Amino acid sequence: MIQISRATIDDIVAHARESVPGECCGLLLGQGAAIVRSVRAGNIAADPTRRFEIDPRDHIAARRDARGRGLAVLGFYHSHPRSAAEPSPTDLAEASYPDHLYLIVSLARGAPDLGLFRLHSGNFQATAFVTVG
């Protein structure tokens, strides 16, 4: 089971709300089975209301930030403003970090809904998580 800090969840949900009607995106930092920090990234997709693409500069900066804090990049997050917190076919086609975590926050029903998945053998597997702190 993955642990995610309450502050991280709150920041990701706030980022998702601020980005509507577009999708937000960022990186998940932590150690082992604990996500302790999120790092926001710019969405440079041609149409950010339909997909996300993490700005490579932000990606590199987040990796440096992680190293400086003694953390690792455990995965990525993005939002689905109008659809469920489930990976879309586009999400699967563009996921390129095996065994990393992918958190999706949906705002489709008003109240945020979160799903966590691990990319394994070319498919997403739902992953249990608990919010701590």
Angle at 121 between CA 115 and CA 127, to 5 degrees: 25
Q: What is the pLDDT of residue 19?
A: 96
Give CA–CA dist 79/114, Å, rounded. 9
Domain ranges, ordered by start, for the chain: 2-132
Q: What's the sign of the alpha-carbon dihedral 75, 67, 14, 4?
A: positive
Q: How confident is the model at residue 129 (pLDDT cuts 50, 70, 90)?
A: very high
What pLDDT score was predicted for residue 110?
80
Query: CATH for 2-132?
Result: 3.40.140.10
Q: Which of 118, 130, 104, 119 is nearest to 35 (CA)?
A: 130
Burial of 13 (0-12, 13-18, 19+ CB in 10 A): middle
Q: Is the pTM of this model over 0.85?
A: yes
State percent of the chain over pLDDT 90. Answer: 88
Q: What is the pLDDT of residues 101-111, one digit of tens each?
A: 999 999 999 89
Tens digits of residue pLDDT in 32-46: 999 999 999 999 999
pLDDT in tens, 78-97: 999 999 999 999 999 999 89
Q: Say yes or no to pLDDT of 74 above 90.
A: yes
Q: Note the pLDDT of residue 48.
A: 92
Per cent of the chain over pLDDT 70 is: 100
